[in-house]
Structure 1
Amino acid sequence: MVLLSQTDSEDYGENDISHIILEYEEANVLYPTQPVSSKASDSASNSFVSLGKRKSSNESEDMAVPIKSTKSAKSYHTTTDSTIDPYIPYTIAHSSALERLMEKKHLPYGVKWEIARLISLDRLNYGAITEEHLELLKGTNHETASKVANVLLKVELEASAALSVAFASEKAVKTPWQELDTEERALSEDIYGGLGHNPNYPDWYGGKVEFRAKLAGNKDDGYKITLERCTLGASSRFTRRFGSWSFIRVKIPLQTFHKSDNGLNVFFKKAFVIWGNVFRACYAKDQSVFLFRTNELCQAGRLTSNAVPGMSLEQLVSDWHNPLAINGNQLMTKWSARTALGFSNSIPGPMVYPDDVTNVDDIVCFGSEMTDGCGLSNKAVHLWIRFNLGVDSLPTAFQFRRAGCKGMSLLHDDGDAGDGKLRMQVRPSQTKIKYSGDGPMDPAHCIVDVLRLSHMRTSVRIAPEIIVNLHDNGVRSAVFVEILKNSIGEIVEGLTTWEGPDAMYNLWRNVERAGGVCAGRRARQIAGEARFRGFEARETEEDDDMEEDDEDGLLRLDSATSEGSTAWWADETSGCPSSLEETVMVLLDSGFTPKECPILREKLRKVVETRIKSRTEQLRLDIEQSASAFVVPDPYGVLNEDEIQIKSSHRCFKTEEGLETDIIVGDVLMTRNPCKVPSDVRKVRAVEHPLLRNLVDVIVCTVKGHRRLLDFLGGGDYDGDKAYIIWAYAIVELFRNADEKYSLEPPGLDFGFERDTETGTQFLERAKSLEPIPRILAMQDYLLGGLRDTSMVGKYSKLHDNAIYMLGYGHPRTVKLAAKFCRVLDGPKTGWKIRRETWEADKREYYGNSRGPEWKPKDSKKPKVSKDNSTYLPKRSKKGCNSDHIHGPFVMDTLRTAAKSEAATLLARMDVVFSPLEINCDPQLTAPWTEAVQWAEQGPPDLVKLKRQDLDTIVAHVQSMYVDHRSALRSQTGSTCFFTTLPIEERQDIIRGLSKEFFDKPVLRDLSLIMDQSTLARLRASYAYQYDAEQNMKSRGWSRFPWNMAMRELCSIKAVALGPYKTVTNGFYERFRLAREFK
């Protein structure tokens, strides 16, 4: 047996280590290398990097970066010098001898990643890996990658074929290995094979496998990177073009991310080594750093460039993606921000060739670009999207990236040649990156990357900052209090009305709507395309704003990455759903009712109480007569100044009379996120025009007037901004437009900022004399700009809230703070940075050390901080409630008081509505066990003995599992409260482990007369229910035990007992919705 160990600086002889290391003649280094192979190619644009041979060193350009050797294999995790020195690479996992042997065995990339992951987690030592182990891991990714832990750590794999089938849908959503095999095969045949439009792989595109890591530690003690499991996720232009394996996303903990002087912008300048492959940071945004696998190798103690086919970091970002030489007029901050275009969460749309893309001028009025960010496309393009991407209807507009263009493209078929050619018209305001016209364009730059399609949301939820704006512009507080009470009351009534012939059907439908169950299911099933298809599974109120803040979809990349179960997927062993709402629905459609079933009653109570608390704590109001959609400019110029058209593809708009319509006509309010100054909500006129009749599911804005309409709303444009429209008469009638002066940047703002004004041309001049590595590090100063001053956006938002409360919404100093917030928000793109002295002065002036106004809801996404003596802002006094900028009590104080009162009233009412039921067993659920006990007493004595033994075996197993279940859900103090505080994935994993054990025993061979699994499952579930009731007779009469273990079987027993019933598979069931006529 050949043992492999990590190398150090000691000398070895024949008797000390295997012949493999002796043959390799390894240098005494801490950071050895791993060969990476590719289909033979010297082209810098070759994207495919497989796992065979690398180029020989004499073909490589030596970048002469020596790597220090050390005795300790883990010293780089804790040595401060190595943390702050960008010239010292960071090794995530390596052993040259092991790498050489893996190459010899032709192990797939997924296996290598899994081995590296276990090593990075300190779960595996190099010396524990033998050649025999690696022999067992030969094959495809699909065949072997999932077996790594089993082979190397003896971790048991899922043994039950039945369970594997049951969880197949969940695993298919996140298990990446078969997809990785397909991607590797496609790119090995054609370097452009992952872009889509591949005839050998129809209806397929690559880039969907996510390679992830996370950061731990701190600057003082040293940072550590650990790899995570691969998962399926969203695709992007970069990953499709260069292969999923070419990028790693490193997640930074929030507390570390917001810590000042965290040193992250220095740490991530390092070269990161995995099996000799060199990764370098190419972009940072939103707690994430993206690493790119370069054409360098860590070889014999030195970093060597051009050692494998592919690109250097510099070639990727400044040649292929955003050529600095051609776009030298860009600020370097803007240049780096446009790296995000390559990472945008997208799917490949139609291929539109350069000859079919024409430039069309922006409409400009008085210096304002009235069409900023929105171009045009012919019907053929939209039809391609409709039929090739599986869309239900023809999209009016779509958000896209193509080559160096970004923004929206609007359907415009006038004058089309009718030859079926796909044509687009792009505007100068959409062209962010220019490319040389010499030579053919890379196919990746010809494909239209589609981010999102136009769709209309109705009855939207408005945030407190919009409420504050509406109140300041004339809408009375009483209007919002009434809306709050009505919206909560409607929800509560819909969930607590249990009488009538259709009561349970209506309740089922209302629970589904309250929890967004059907949309959530669909979002889980198509996680990588959920954003494109308009499905969002929201878990918190704060997520409502995420879509507005996340243009490229980078914040949505965190779904489906847990190492165990996937959040909110049902336990397919027991049949028990994960979410409250789905559990209630499953119980309802099996025939249980809240008037007789204690667990249904309890779960439904939690649903109702959660809705009451979330609405009254977060203070976000559901406005029934409202909608949101993408905003586009009028392509025909027929709308007059301050006019819009808002039309839906179906009748979904509620009128004052309670009817449904597909178009709104009359005065409406228009706003967007963020909403910071009085002019950020504007009253406009909604009209209907025959030329715009086909422009549905978008908000069409006029191109007339002295300024772009969306420019009044926080400087918005048409490159993918969404707007909210409100036509509720009680709000619109009272609202008065604010002075337009508030929409202009206040004078003197520049004095509080400093700016990096270096352009691309200036950078190239400065960097031309630098060696490759120093030049890369200089670029990374900009590429990693997202890691600097990361908390200032939140800090200035807080100061603005404080100023609103103390000075008034329209006070000049409040407005100036809003402008500072917007400039800080855009700082990474524009180069503006708040001066330290300005920040210190603002913090003192605007109570920066306070907790802010007391009405503010707690932000669950903020990091936990140590206890301090900070206090809330003092409440507004009656004397200070009337001034030039303060008009009466603050609206959110009034709303908070009303919300607390309403919540207390409703929760007290729920104590009555959901009062405990009489302790009583459901005879229909105990019937199978009761009948089995009677059956066991019939027949000859020997037969009776065997029957009793079978039942006793079931009894012993159920009682044992009852104890295990109770213990697993209790903390060391005996409390069950801790269980609900665990992350959902951990809770699911605990329950699934128990239900699997419950399901696995007893086995049929241990039973004498019970001959089939269905009979065994029915009896086991029935007895579990009965035993649980007996054990809890002195308390509330039940626990979650039988339902967590066997909900599907208990529901089946109930449905059969009630009859008639229909058996369906999950695939059908999860697509069922009650039609409106059954409302």
Structure 2
Amino acid sequence: MSTTVNQDLGDISEPESEYYGGDISELIQDYREPVIIGDGYFADQEGNPDEPQSTASDSTRSGGTVSDPSTSSLGKRKASSSSPSDIVERPLKRAYILDERTSRSDLPQDPGAPCIIAHCPRVQQLLENKQISKGVRYELARLVSTGKIAYRDLTESRIDALRGSNQEAARKVGSLFTGSDDTGNPAIDSAFAQELAAHLPWEELDREETALSQDPYAGIGNNPDIPGWYGGKVEFRGRLQAHTNGTIKSFKIVLDSCTLGTSCRFMRRFGSWSFIRVKIPLEIFHDPKNNLSLFFRKQFIIWGNVFRACYAKDDNVFFYWTNERFPPASPVPGRLSFEDFIMWHNPLKEEANAHQHMTKWASRTQLGFSNSIPGPRLLQEHLLIEPDIVNEKGSDMTDGCGLSSNSIHRFLLYQLSLESLPTAFQFRLAGNKGMLLLRDDASNASSRDDEMRAWVRPSQTKIQYPQGLALDPAMLTFDILRTSHMTSPSRLSTEVIINLAENGVPHSVFVELLKTSIREMVRGLTTWDGPDATFNLWMNVERAGGVLMARRAREAVGEARARGFSSRSPEEDELEDYDDEDDEADTPRSAPWWTDQISGCPSTLEETVMVLLDSGFHVKSCPILREKLNCVVTNKIENRTGNLRLTLEQSCIAFAVPDPFGVLGPEEIQIKSSRRNLKTNDGLLTDIILGDVLITRNPCKVGTDVRKVKAVDNPLLRNYVDVIVFSVQGHRRLIDWLAGGDYDGDKVLAMWALALVLPFENASEKLGSEPPGLDLSFTRDQEKGKAFLERTGGWETSKRMQAMQVYLLGALRDTSQVGKYSSMHVNTIYRRGYNHPLTVKLAYKFCRVLDAPKTGWRIRPETLSADLREYHHPSGPQWKAMEKSKKKSGKFRGSAINVPYLHRDGTSRWVHGRFIMDVLRDAAIKEKEYLLIEMDKIFKPLENGQADADLLRPWADAEAWAERGELAFVHRKKSDLKRIELHVQAIYDQNKAHFKNNSNTNSGVQFTGLPIEVRQDKLRSISKAFASGPPIEDLQTIPDAATLARYRASYAYKYDAEMNSRKGGWSRFPWNVALRELCLIKASALGPYKAVTSNFYERFRLVKRV
């Protein structure tokens, strides 16, 4: 391997097009190159060797990695002058890099120079000789990449101790090298078994390794020897880190902990360990000079294995483990090369694929990475073609949706334990994608037999495979992304609100909707008296937090999306956005939002309130319940008034599908649910909506993106439930009016509230087409697959791979432009008006920029510069600044810069009075202020502050018991109770000191501002210490652990009340460490109660009493 910089990259990877070819100097950052000597050490300016720099690779230098000892010397030292084992004997030093920036600042970096994540020849040989498992190898590489261990720490004796399966050995790595205890405590592991099973990967990784070693197709599911199991569920992740030294910016890959997660076709077929997903921090991703496209064309080395970036999606880059070795040697047996892997999925030489633009061809790689679970396997002859319905004007009325037999839907019903037969599902199969709709056709016998058949339309086929060739079993196994379900009610985004207001809905309707939705929610959470009040409160708290669905999503791990589960409430989904860029802690993290099974204390506020309520506590007498419920209500008020999304009872969201029988007329749809959960305008519940409705989808940028249509009930469509069926008649595909939608998995929001529907008027259809002259603002890469093959056919393999990566990593180019055009569009709406021609043109520019990685359209630099001068504003409109501030901090902080907010242009004929979001912002602020004052009154502290006698009684009974009996026995009983007191007092003091220290950190981050995993770990460390003593074997008179737990919890409550007598008589301490035991004491004191396991309890759902 040569360390000489290749100054001519044009012939390596840049296609001859206006975008990719020619001068790319604006992408090049300052360049510097280290001096590498023969054995892989960096040299300082005196030529003194350093230990290999294993974790960093400059984005602007060519040799910032360990080189092959046999090929790279630069005349400094011969490779034979030191053995591999010498590397770890030398003391660690920082590498000194020769600064060649002055002479090389105009040179691009060499993508041929590898980036070492973790590699040392001596260690690699040990790992091979000792047959160390894949999970252990990854853990060692992770610790090296984070700088927690050095290669010299990886001695033969330590590695020898890590032999065995992943389950046996991987958990030893932490204790062996970093001193953290990850070897597992049987009692703790038993208590947290369900949580550990949901995120610890080692047992699953062993199962996958064993299965794939016996059958290379075992991971794709449908294996009779392992029923119900499939592979690809272990996630290997990393993140990009940037380091700046003066004007020099360098990148490195840091590996994150391995965990269980979602699966995809590629991972099931080739093994979880064949892929690594690298996350790019947003500040790097949106930097227009990040140079990421060049950096990610390198080889990435982990213990001699070579990974290459094979696809980029948003701020994620996917690495594939190739058959290459480092240093170069014979290929790894049994592995596909980078090119073979790409061509296995999307053969470029196939004529239909070769006629695609390369940008479009590259975008099809995403199909293999789609989060999915394997469905049934189809016989190749049962994959059939169904013609698209195309009208006389050339509009494809069924674009993206095919048909499937009843037997496939039944299979999914039982496989996913769904409540009813799914009408449709989103899928991938071979080179096809989109939706498949139940073929409920009495005239077609093949749709009713037991054979599984799928009828795909030409519009669904994205990749063609050679005719007559037997497809890989992975290609014939359904990848199931989602099944059909209908959610109601739903929420209106700011984009939809703006559209509705601009199309005739009065502002007062939205203000009233804001007040009504918030006050109904608050009323449900603050009504504590009356028949069934406690039961209704429990149900309202569960609904507000989406608790039951979140529990199921936590348990389902990678299958939550396919099953239709959501892991958080809508407010949390939109507002929770912290970015932890620090290295991970040495100790294993808890899984987010799981209950602490030692104390029994849930992680979420809503679940804590529910546990206290169903144990018999009441808001009017229990301070901790009162405080938690107050937090729930206050958070909901702040969220709903801060993000300006409105809950609409008369609305639903579901997949859009085309009418399979053609019985719906133009501008007609059918909305039918499998349950009576759709609220009509008179407040009743129904399963079908009739009359005028408004429909829209995301994004909603121009006036025609919301459309008034008619909902009908057609008897032929009676079985098509939990979907919105669209007519296939008319001069244009109906869903195409909604931001160019199709039926490949688009979800549609339908609204039938009369206050919105009656005043709404459809916008001019002219707004639904791109404005003339839009192409002049863009260039487009024109290279097609055939031209690419001809251009690169005679190139070396490495150069051809890098040329391919230019397209595969296309999402890394122009990464900041989507956000810029989104902001400029918002600014122009506010200033010039929603339907102003310039506003409409910016909306369509935004859509093209968004789709650039797969379409090849690129905004011209001069157009971008002109648009920024004309439409950019440093502060933007005040309502938008308020929304952004809420998302980041939860509080509105005002403008961060000393620039006035953007003002409306009252002279524009497209501006009609006040802007709807300004009106809503003012109304939300007033409503929030009013409600928070009311909450202060409702949740004012309890006046008497008396401790709960039921919780005090066990300890009082224990003290009375200790006074009875012979004197010697009395002394022993009192001694045991004293041990309990001292233990509780010690933990109390420890807890107080712990949180005092955390609240006085220099970081300025309070405890509640920390990531949930960090908060859980801190609380669990206290509860574990509390439950660990005093040892039951040291207590002569306490009969069993259950009695000890009861006494300990009761005394903790008593002691806490005494210590806080001047502060309301309580703190969170006893509840954090012994909530389950305190709830048991309360329930048993109130009368008859029922013991139940957590697994049963967490699936319980209350229903209203008839």
TM-score, normalised via structure 1 length: 0.90
* Counterpart code for 1:394: L
Does the 8 Å CA contact 1:853/1:872 hold for their aligned counterparts? no
Q: Return the match for 2:817 from 792, 803, 808.
A: 792
Classify 1:857/1:722 alpha carbon distance in 2 versus 1 (closer, same or farther; 3 Å).
farther
Bigger shift: 863-872 or 603-612? 863-872
* Residue of structure 1 in register with 2:516 after alignment: 486
1:311 matched to 2:336? The reply is yes
* Residue of structure 2 in register with 1:287 after alignment: 315
- Matches of 1:162 and 1:386, distance apart in 2: 37
C-alpha displacement of 1:813: 0.7
Counterpart mapping for 1:126-145 below 5 A:
126-145=151-170
- Matches of 2:713 and 2:828, distance apart in 1: 41
C-alpha displacement of 1:80: 9.0
* Residue of structure 1 in register with 2:65 after alignment: none
**Residue ranges of structure 1 left out of the alignment (5+ in a row):** 1-7, 13-26, 34-61, 547-558
Does the 8 Å CA contact 2:355/2:786 hold for their aligned counterparts? yes
Q: Return the match for 1:356 from 382, 386, 391.
A: 382
- Matches of 1:378 and 1:88, distance apart in 2: 52
Tell me the secondary structure at the aligned position of residue 574 of structure 1.
Answer: coil
- Matches of 1:728 and 1:1003, distance apart in 2: 63
Count of residues paired in the alignment: 1011
Classify 1:294/1:28 alpha carbon distance in 2 versus 1 (closer, same or farther; 3 Å).
farther
Q: Return the match for 1:427 from 457, 467, 477.
A: 457
**1:117-146 CA distance string (max 9 Å, x none):** 122222222222333323322221112211
* Residue of structure 1 in register with 2:370 after alignment: 344
Does the 8 Å CA contact 2:693/2:711 hold for their aligned counterparts? yes
**1:578-613 CA distance string (max 9 Å, x none):** 100000001101111110000100000000011111
1:521 matched to 2:551? The reply is yes
1:497 matched to 2:518? The reply is no
**1:39-81 CA distance string (max 9 Å, x none):** xxxxxxxxxxxxxxxxxxxxxxx9x986989989887998999
Bigger shift: 1062-1071 or 267-276? 267-276
Counterpart mapping for 1:904-943 below 5 A:
904-918=929-943, 919-943=945-969
Tell me the secondary structure at the aligned position of residue 1025 of structure 1.
Answer: helix
* Counterpart code for 1:527: V
* Residue of structure 1 in register with 2:19 after alignment: none
**1:910-935 CA distance string (max 9 Å, x none):** 01000000221111111111222222
- Matches of 1:313 and 1:475, distance apart in 2: 55
Q: Return the match for 2:1090 from 1044, 1058, 1062.
A: 1062
1:660 matched to 2:685? The reply is yes
Does the 8 Å CA contact 2:544/2:569 hold for their aligned counterparts? no
Q: Return the match for 2:398 from 371, 377, 390.
A: 371
Q: CA-atom RMSD, angstroms? A: 2.9
* Residue of structure 2 in register with 1:1017 after alignment: 1045
Bigger shift: 379-388 or 902-911? 379-388
* Residue of structure 1 in register with 2:424 after alignment: 397
C-alpha displacement of 1:200: 1.5
1:412 matched to 2:439? The reply is yes
* Residue of structure 2 in register with 1:124 after alignment: 149
Does the 8 Å CA contact 2:423/2:721 hold for their aligned counterparts? yes
1:959 matched to 2:985? The reply is yes
Counterpart mapping for 1:64-463 below 5 A:
84-157=109-182, 160-218=185-243, 220-299=248-327, 303-304=328-329, 306-326=331-351, 327-365=353-391, 366-414=393-441, 415-417=444-446, 418-463=448-493
Tell me the secondary structure at the aligned position of residue 750 of structure 2.
Answer: strand
Tell me the secondary structure at the aligned position of residue 649 of structure 2.
Answer: coil
Does the 8 Å CA contact 1:407/1:430 hold for their aligned counterparts? yes
Tell me the secondary structure at the aligned position of residue 1063 of structure 2.
Answer: coil
Classify 1:708/1:199 alpha carbon distance in 2 versus 1 (closer, same or farther; 3 Å).
same
* Residue of structure 1 in register with 2:974 after alignment: 948
**1:488-532 CA distance string (max 9 Å, x none):** 010000000000131111000000000000000000111200000
Bigger shift: 198-207 or 236-245? 198-207
C-alpha displacement of 1:962: 1.2
Tell me the secondary structure at the aligned position of residue 252 of structure 2.
Answer: strand
Classify 1:244/1:359 alpha carbon distance in 2 versus 1 (closer, same or farther; 3 Å).
same
Does the 8 Å CA contact 1:855/1:896 hold for their aligned counterparts? no
**1:319-366 CA distance string (max 9 Å, x none):** 433434431111111111111100001111122222112222211121
Does the 8 Å CA contact 1:253/1:287 hold for their aligned counterparts? yes
Does the 8 Å CA contact 1:249/1:290 hold for their aligned counterparts? yes
Bigger shift: 748-757 or 866-875? 866-875
- Matches of 1:793 and 1:596, distance apart in 2: 53
- Matches of 1:74 and 1:285, distance apart in 2: 37
* Counterpart code for 1:1022: S
- Matches of 1:75 and 1:796, distance apart in 2: 43
Q: Return the match for 1:750 from 775, 792, 796.
A: 775
Q: Return the match for 2:841 from 804, 810, 816.
A: 816
Classify 1:482/1:79 alpha carbon distance in 2 versus 1 (closer, same or farther; 3 Å).
farther
Bigger shift: 783-792 or 245-254? 783-792
**1:16-47 CA distance string (max 9 Å, x none):** xxxxxxxxxxx9995999xxxxxxxxxxxxxx
* Counterpart code for 2:126: L
* Counterpart code for 2:628: K
- Matches of 1:563 and 1:980, distance apart in 2: 20
Bigger shift: 1020-1029 or 573-582? 1020-1029
Classify 1:784/1:66 alpha carbon distance in 2 versus 1 (closer, same or farther; 3 Å).
farther
Bigger shift: 508-517 or 175-184? 175-184
Does the 8 Å CA contact 2:172/2:183 hold for their aligned counterparts? no
Does the 8 Å CA contact 1:231/1:560 hold for their aligned counterparts? no
C-alpha displacement of 1:778: 0.9
**1:973-1026 CA distance string (max 9 Å, x none):** 648971111111100000001110111111012222113111111111111111
- Matches of 1:479 and 1:10, distance apart in 2: 75
* Counterpart code for 2:1065: G
Does the 8 Å CA contact 2:235/2:260 hold for their aligned counterparts? yes
Bigger shift: 814-823 or 208-217? 208-217
* Counterpart code for 1:228: D
Classify 1:271/1:489 alpha carbon distance in 2 versus 1 (closer, same or farther; 3 Å).
same
Does the 8 Å CA contact 1:77/1:224 hold for their aligned counterparts? no
* Residue of structure 2 in register with 1:551 after alignment: none
- Matches of 1:800 and 1:841, distance apart in 2: 14
Does the 8 Å CA contact 2:575/2:888 hold for their aligned counterparts? no
Classify 1:936/1:237 alpha carbon distance in 2 versus 1 (closer, same or farther; 3 Å).
same
**1:806-857 CA distance string (max 9 Å, x none):** 1111111110110111111111111111122212211221233233343554
Q: Return the match for 1:506 from 536, 552, 559.
A: 536
1:997 matched to 2:1022? The reply is no
Counterpart mapping for 1:888-907 below 5 A:
888-907=913-932
Classify 1:435/1:601 alpha carbon distance in 2 versus 1 (closer, same or farther; 3 Å).
same
**Residue ranges of structure 2 left out of the alignment (5+ in a row):** 1-35, 41-48, 56-67, 78-86, 101-106, 577-583
C-alpha displacement of 1:427: 1.1
1:682 matched to 2:707? The reply is yes
Tell me the secondary structure at the aligned position of residue 474 of structure 2.
Answer: helix
Does the 8 Å CA contact 1:574/1:1046 hold for their aligned counterparts? yes
- Matches of 1:199 and 1:80, distance apart in 2: 61
TM-score, normalised via structure 2 length: 0.88
Does the 8 Å CA contact 1:508/1:585 hold for their aligned counterparts? yes
* Counterpart code for 2:1055: Y
C-alpha displacement of 1:11: 8.5
- Matches of 1:253 and 1:874, distance apart in 2: 29
Does the 8 Å CA contact 1:32/1:298 hold for their aligned counterparts? no
Classify 1:419/1:922 alpha carbon distance in 2 versus 1 (closer, same or farther; 3 Å).
closer
Does the 8 Å CA contact 1:584/1:604 hold for their aligned counterparts? yes
